[in-house]
Amino acid sequence: MKSVLADAKTAAIVSLIASSPIFDAGDAKDYYELGRIIGRGSYSIVRVAIEKTTRVKYAAKCIRRNNLSLDDVKALLVEVSVLKQMNHRNIIKLHQVFAEAEFFVLITEFVEGGELFDRIVEKTCYTEREARDVVKSLLEVTAYCHTNNVVHRDLKPENILLVNRDDHTSFKLADFGFAKRITVDSEGLVTACGTPGYVAPEVLMGKPYGAGVDIWSIGVITYILLCGYPPFHDDNRPRLFAQIKEGAFHFHEPYWDDISESAKDVIRQMLTKDPKHRPTADALLHHSWIAGGEVGSVQLDNALKELRQFNARRKLKATTIAVLSTVAFGVRSGSLGTSDSFRKRLASNGIDTNTNHVEKKVERSEEEEKKKAPTTEL
């Protein structure tokens, strides 16, 4: 029976690929020299790719086909179609896409600055103005997406990649795996997705939602940028979701003492529980904190200290997932989705086995949460 289902899945995926115009002919290795590994995910690795004719450096994201469900492949096709149509200085550019026998390979522009938070914590001087500049750029690229009827749905620090190590305001927005086309002034999305801690309350409540979910996520990122810790946090998933659904957060002393009231106001607006009263990205770009020139230049020592601790915990969790995934990456079809031993190893290290997918039913017990299979990180 399993063999029949596997054959049916393979046939359906082959049919999807054949009917899609997004794939380039041949294999990636026909056009690129694939080099060292520069990143890992639960189902993918990222390699340096040098184009043979031009010697231009790119990044090759290699996603093992056997580990993807039919829905995963459909989501990948959505991500690719969205990226192919996006043209903005702050969105990572997709160059080519290949459907090989074992892998889907996405060739994107190469950015070498690393994740935004990684660079900020290396700084010795960090001010509110620098945080504002990042938020402004993030709102600009989000406004562009929304104008083009695209909702990202998974805005988080890991998806903000710096072009180089010297400028932490020049970044590329990556990972459109959860992106969805929608008439932005509507609330027509219902799929529960996103990353815990950054997901909007209306998603957790199972309500139809729209572009406001991206604004909420930017609000969380802005909060972290200014104080170094998240507005909603609990290691217990149901309790975290309960906090977010309640929508209550605080500006604690002494961490917020030196932060301007204007900055606090823009956060309150972005983290408005009711999405109908949450401003758009365009509207926020006219807020005094974003558009004005007078922004605090006080050194945020407490924020930098807290951000280093927050980032260290975040990176430890990501590293643990990557290390455990390395073993599973080479295992054949379906193993990541069904392996109890893999899930138990994640759980034993305090890693949620569903870190890239939000559950509608937050009342689910912790034991039930641990039994869920990990979802694909596209």
Binding-site positions for ATP read 61
147, 178, 108, 145: CA torsion to nearest 10: 10
Q: Is 235 a catalytic residue?
A: no
Q: Residue 157: left (phi > 0), alpha (psi -120 to 50), or beta? A: alpha
Q: Residue for token digits 């999305």?
A: 189
Q: Of the listed 72, 118, 154, 352, which one is catalytic? A: 154
d(CA 294, CA 212): 27
Which tokens go with 75? 């989501």
| Among candidate residues 102, 76, 14, the one with its CA nearest the CA of residue 333 | 102
How far from 259 is each of 218, 230, 253, CA to CA, in Å?
17, 15, 11
Residue type, 166: D
Task: Please say whether the beta carbons of 100 and 17 come within 8 A.
Answer: no
117, 121, 127, 129: CA torsion to nearest 10: -20
**Binding site as annotated, residues:** 61
| C-alpha angle 289-293-298 in degrees, rounded to nearest 5 | 80
Q: What is the DSSP string of 282-341?
A: HHHTTSHHHH-S-----B-HHHHHHHHHHHHHHHHHHHHHHHHHHHHHTS-TTHHHH-HH
Please give the radius of gyration of the chain, using alpha carbons only, rounded to the nearest integer.
21
Cis amide bond preceding 254, omega within 30: yes
d(CA 147, CA 149): 5
Task: Please say whether the beta carbons of 250 and 223 come within 8 A.
Answer: no
Which residues are catalytically annotated? 154
